Amino acid sequence: MAPDLQVRIAYRLKYSELVSPGSKRAIYTFDLLRAWEKLRRRLDFPIIIVRGGGYRTPAYNDRIGGSPRSRHLTGEAIDPGVSTFYENGLDPYSKGAFAVFLSSGFHGIGRFENRLHLDVRPDPTFWEYYIDENGRLRNRPDEQAAKWFDQLNQN
């Protein structure tokens, strides 16, 4: 049976928002929904999931050059756009926002200029994306986030 794209699978989250481009399918884990619920109840403003920022089929992930081990393939990742954060007075790249993501259960946090990557991997891992001299999207460890993580754990 075809999934009902409008069905609500968590607080302020519809199935359609996690569907992979090029398909009508979404996979999502319980851990992802649990972290999302916590995040959404704390940040009670609209959060837009970017195209391809929910589940990705292997074909779609290949097409956009995603990592073969991407957590989007296993329904453990979500990529929010940042515009509604600013519209609601929260800098998405601030320590405060980082602390909310982390304490909601998102332990994999990738930061890029117009979007965030959040996933529910067990080990805390933080990185930032950048464009290299050949115009390719690369990533490197996010040293700022690692410092914040240490500070938060000392308190």
Give the footprint of Zn ion on this chain (CB under 5 A).
77, 79, 117
The secondary structure of residue 81, as a DSSP letter, is: B
State in angstroms the smallest separation of the CB of 63 from Zn ion: 15
Output 4 or 138, the one with its CB closest to Zn ion.
138
Q: Is the dihedral of CA 134, 135, 136, 141 positive or negative?
A: positive
CB 152 within 8 A of CB 102: yes
Least gap, CB of 116 to Zn ion (angstroms): 8
Nearer to Zn ion, 15 or 54 (CB): 54
Taking CB positions, which residue lies at the least distance from Zn ion?
117
How many CA atoms within 13 Å lie on the side-chain side of 79? 21
Q: Which is nearer to Zn ion, 68 or 89 (CB)?
A: 68
Q: Is residue 41 within 8 Å of 67, Cβ to Cβ?
A: no
Q: How far is the CB of 70 from Zn ion (least distance, A)?
A: 7
